[in-house]
Amino acid sequence: MTPAETEPLRKRPLRADAQRNYDKLLAAARAAFKERDQEASLEEIARRAQVGIGTLYRHFPTRQALIEAVYVDEVEAISAATANYAELEPWQALSGWLREYVSFAATKRALSEAMLEADRDAEVFKRCRVALREAGQRLLTRAQEAGEVRPDTTFADVGRLVGGVAMVGGDDEQRERVLALALDGLRYRSAG
């Protein structure tokens, strides 16, 4: 592993008050972006977080820096969510996490598009892809070792499959139906 792959995706402030403000700004930005995509103003986000605009700019000197921080926070959360599935059977763990991943991908599309527009090769974006791939690969490998998932599948395959499902139009019910069909294709069945 390279140093970029082993260090946290983001570095947090050390002072407690700065950490609280940072966390409040991320929560406010996440809510605002969810409601209005990227259209939410920085002033609105500062107001929601109950901090001054200067505090927002100290933590996030540009709109892009704020978008990246929200995206990284979400990637860390979905990557860490694999721990919630540790006690489940391998197939249940993988399919449960992939359902969560689809929801993440569907709601974070605008943020990822903004990051891609800025710089597809940015180090932070590369580290996010690595974090997601490593998190998913652990669950996939476990399911493959248990004979639950096709052995010829990689997480790159699964990521593309699930990413495509996340882009399905319609409502959550339709997306879940398409995901169930896709997951059925991952299941291992012996020839015979």
135-180 pLDDT per residue, tens: 999 999 999 999 999 999 999 999 888 888 888 776 778 888 899 9
Give pTM, 2 decimals: 0.77
Same domain, 48 and 92: no
For residue 7 the two structure tokens come to: 């260090």
User: On the CB side of 187, how many CA atoms lie within 13 Å of its CA?
Assistant: 10
Domain boundary among 24, 40, 61: 61
The pLDDT value given to residue 139: 96
In a domain, 3, yes or no: no
Return the H-helix or E-strand segment holding 38. none
How far is CA 57 from each of CA 10, 22, 34, 127, 184, rounded to the nearest angstrom? 17, 11, 21, 24, 47
Which burial class, exposed, middle or buried, applies to 192 when counting CB atoms under 10 A from its CB (0-12, 13-18, 19+)?
exposed
Same domain, 180 and 118: yes
In a domain, 168, yes or no: yes
Cα of 109 vs its chain's centroid, Å? 10
Count of helix runs (H) and strand runs (E) in the chain = 10, 0
- Number of domains making up the chain: 2
Of 122 and 53, the one with more pLDDT: 53
Of 190 and 98, the one with more pLDDT: 98
When computed from its CA atoms, the radius of gyration of the chain, rounded to whole angstroms, is 18
Same domain, 150 and 56: no
In a domain, 82, yes or no: yes
Same domain, 147 and 179: yes
Same domain, 88 and 182: yes
Its domain, for residue 84, covers 63-192
In a domain, 72, yes or no: yes
In a domain, 131, yes or no: yes
Q: Which residues contact 145 (CB under 8 A, 6 or more apart)?
A: 90
CATH number at residue 162: 1.10.357.10
Of 123 and 12, the one with more pLDDT: 123
Same domain, 148 and 71: yes
Give me the percent of the chain exceeding a pLDDT of 70. Answer: 80
Of 106 and 131, the one with more pLDDT: 131
* Whole-number Å distance between alpha carbons of 10 and 123: 11
Same domain, 69 and 153: yes
